[in-house]
């Protein structure tokens, strides 16, 4: 997808960033040496026993004015354009 064809409707900036935010709960089994079955000597937080995603959000953000737009808006515009070289303003 060619994101240079999109402009921010607030400030007309062409520098947009796709962002993905996610929240997770990390679980570690409590045992005698260190929390987590995979942590045998010291606790390393990246060696979790279970990770559950609790939420996620994708959006496009303008680098200049910091306005956020739903990512789906861009996916729908790209499908509608059928790869035509047309400028779109969201």
Determine, yes or no, domain membership for 89: no
CB 72 within 8 A of CB 59: no
Segments in the chain below pLDDT 70: 1-4, 31-35, 40, 74-90
Q: pTM for the complete prediction?
A: 0.57
How many domains does the chain contain in total? 1
Determine, yes or no, domain membership for 86: no
Determine, yes or no, domain membership for 83: no
Determine, yes or no, domain membership for 68: yes
CB 24 within 8 A of CB 50: no
Domain around 12: 3-78
Residue 87's pLDDT is what?
46
Determine, yes or no, domain membership for 38: yes
Determine, yes or no, domain membership for 84: no
Residue 71's pLDDT is what?
84
Q: How far apart are CA 2 and CA 48, in angstroms?
A: 38
Determine, yes or no, domain membership for 88: no
Tokens representing residue 9 in the block? 């409707």
Determine, yes or no, domain membership for 8: yes
Residue 4's pLDDT is what?
57
Residue 5 DSSP label: G
pLDDT digits (tens, 9 = 90+) for 24-43: 998 888 766 566 777 767 77
Residue 77 half-sphere exposure toward CB, CA atoms < 13 A: 19
Residue 29's pLDDT is what?
81
């Amino acid at each position: 997808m060619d994101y240079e064809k999109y402009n921010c409707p607030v400030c007309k900036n062409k520098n947009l960033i796709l962002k993905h935010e996610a929240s997770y709960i990390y679980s570690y089994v409590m045992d005698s040496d260190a929390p987590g079955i995979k942590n045998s000597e010291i606790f390393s937080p990246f060696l979790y026993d279970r990770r559950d995603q609790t939420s996620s959000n994708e959006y496009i953000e303008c680098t200049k004015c910091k306005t956020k737009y739903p990512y789906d808006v861009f996916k729908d515009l790209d499908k509608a354009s059928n790869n035509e070289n047309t400028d779109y303003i969201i």
